[in-house]
Amino acid sequence: MRLALTVQIALATAIGGFVAGLLALWVGSTTLSVGAGVTVRAVLVVLVLVLVPAIAVRRHLLDVDRTVLRRSAAVGLVLGYLLNPLSWLGRAFVAQTFVPVGLASAAVDLALWTAVGMGAVLLATRSATNREPLGYEPAA
């Protein structure tokens, strides 16, 4: 496991998710709409969970085995969720819209958080589908 990659993903997703939550709180309080706040938070958190792990993993593709990258990213995503103060309340992602706020919404949010982030990691670390050799063909 790559400790630096794990820490990078954990801190970036925790901070990004927390900032998304604060912006959503501001939107919800200025519009007087909880739904608007939850929607803004969901969109911003998805952006964070797609961009941060994919970019972080992409930078190490040539250096490290893909399995190690995926494992490091998974641990980083879980740690990032646990470091986000909003996750302690069960309000880190979207589960509060369909599950009572508390431990149940925290568990559902953790599962969704990890699934979205790992989806981005799997796309970023997938193997090329084209089996052609690299390089240029000599001119005939």
pLDDT digits (tens, 9 = 90+) for 6-28: 999 999 999 999 999 999 999 99
In a domain, 120, yes or no: yes
In a domain, 131, yes or no: no
* pLDDT attached to residue 109: 97
User: In total, how many domains does the chain have?
Assistant: 1
In a domain, 56, yes or no: yes
* 1 — pLDDT class (breaks 50, 70, 90): confident
| pTM, two decimal places | 0.89
In a domain, 33, yes or no: yes
Give the domain extent around 32.
3-124
First to last CA, the chain: 47
Q: Please give the Cα distance from 101 to 82 (Å, whole number).
A: 16
In a domain, 72, yes or no: yes
In a domain, 69, yes or no: yes
Question: Tens digit of pLDDT for each residue in 49-94?
Answer: 999 999 999 999 888 999 999 999 999 999 999 999 999 999 999 9
